[in-house]
Structure 1
């Protein structure tokens, strides 16, 4: 009976998704979408699998969501895949993630979709702590896509918002030293734009919409500086279970707020 009901509901679900997609396509799109991919480990545990298996499911979902972004013409996307705190996780899990990073970076460097859509991939965050094999794979991916003119895809690895701001201030101090400015002189002329120039996302628009899965209602340090005026959407779905209909509902919510405030 349950299977029969599910089979009968599929056409209705498909029709609703297509109708929602058509509606969303007519509305304003975020210039920069941030994605906090949360819930891989909980998803795996719910299935009785090891937490590391959940990350593999999460990788496949990330590709799927990026295809949705390409379909809708979103120009800049930042996905947070590994935080500075993630290095504290069990050694087996970290090793599995490092292996996935190498494998997926190499696949992306050859992926026809990346090249057909001219996706420029940038890796943002601190690179300390990553092995040489991981760094080589990431640098090759960046190099292969550096001159692409389509979507900009930021992959946040070894990333923390506080660390990003610290690194931006360090960059400012080094710049001031090279120009012969004292810390006092720098302080006198310092502006928010000066810090923004040294952020990992320098040259890109700030995110106007950020989605986090898994039901957590917090940013956990994601794009702290850049998200000052962002809209947020927290969905109570684990990342590997995040469906296109969930994504479209999130975008519809964003568009409704944009229309409400006349933006």
Structure 2
């Protein structure tokens, strides 16, 4: 398929650069994370104006626990505030929440809030998938174990047990901040996804950046291994 008229149904973003944004402005790291949450909020509000059926965001990796305890606490508190403040808007805008990762390993009160959010948004027509306590290699290993327990291990049987089962195939993966790596994110799902690495820090990412990314995606030619 050539790029003309091609629309991205599923876009994933590695939201990188909060810490550097804060450092450049001589602010505490938590201020970068707070501004990053505002960028998420604006992006989710803009989804209705795009072709995107599912937006997947890398919010907290299983490796992020290695960060200083104070920073992890700040991130968890921001998550609590975001769920409380934005859940009504998700419901009003027909946004369905989906979570990738071992999220039940988070603090019990956050798990309860997430379970409530999943239940309240279950009928939404557009999906916001959030990767929490997520690592792609662990996801693939878990899916392979589950597939083996059922019988033959195949690409299809592994895919059925991934956290992303039921979501559209990944079309476009974006990473902000100028870093060019996947950081253990959606390794299986990104097998034939288009990739875009942007030299913009996440707190400065706007819906216009997303629209430009979608235009660039539409101009690319996807071959899926063929000529």
TM-score by length of 1: 0.79
Aligned twin of 1:173? 148
Q: Is 2:95 the partner of 1:95?
A: no
Q: CA RMSD in A?
A: 1.8
CA distance in 1, matches of 2:204, 2:123: 34
**3-state SS of the aligned residue for 1:121?**
strand
Aligned twin of 1:160? 135
**3-state SS of the aligned residue for 2:167?**
coil
Question: Which contiguous aligned blocks of 4+ residues in structure 1 show a shift greater than 3 angstroms?
Answer: 258-261
Q: CA deviation at 1:260?
A: 9.5
Offset from partner CA, 1:129-172 (integer Å, 9 cap, x none): 41111111111111110122x11111100011101101112222
Q: CA deviation at 1:77?
A: 1.0
Q: Is 2:176 the partner of 1:201?
A: no
Q: CA deviation at 1:70?
A: 2.0
1:102–1:138 CA contact under 8 A, matched in 2? no
Aligned twin of 2:195? 232
Aligned twin of 1:215? 178
Q: CA deviation at 1:35?
A: 0.9
> With CA pairs under 8 Å and 6+ residues apart, which has the higher RCO, 1 or 2?
2
5 Å matches for 1:22-171?
27-111=5-89, 114-127=90-103, 129-148=105-124, 150-171=125-146
- Structure 1 spans left out of the alignment, 5+ residues: 1-25, 177-185
Give the paired residue count: 221
Offset from partner CA, 1:216-243 (integer Å, 9 cap, x none): 1111111110110000000000001113
CA distance in 2, matches of 1:117, 1:29: 21
**3-state SS of the aligned residue for 1:158?**
strand
**3-state SS of the aligned residue for 2:180?**
coil
2:42–2:206 CA contact under 8 A, matched in 1? no
1:212–1:233 CA contact under 8 A, matched in 2? yes
Higher helix share: 1
Q: CA deviation at 1:259?
A: 8.3
CA distance in 2, matches of 1:222, 1:259: 21
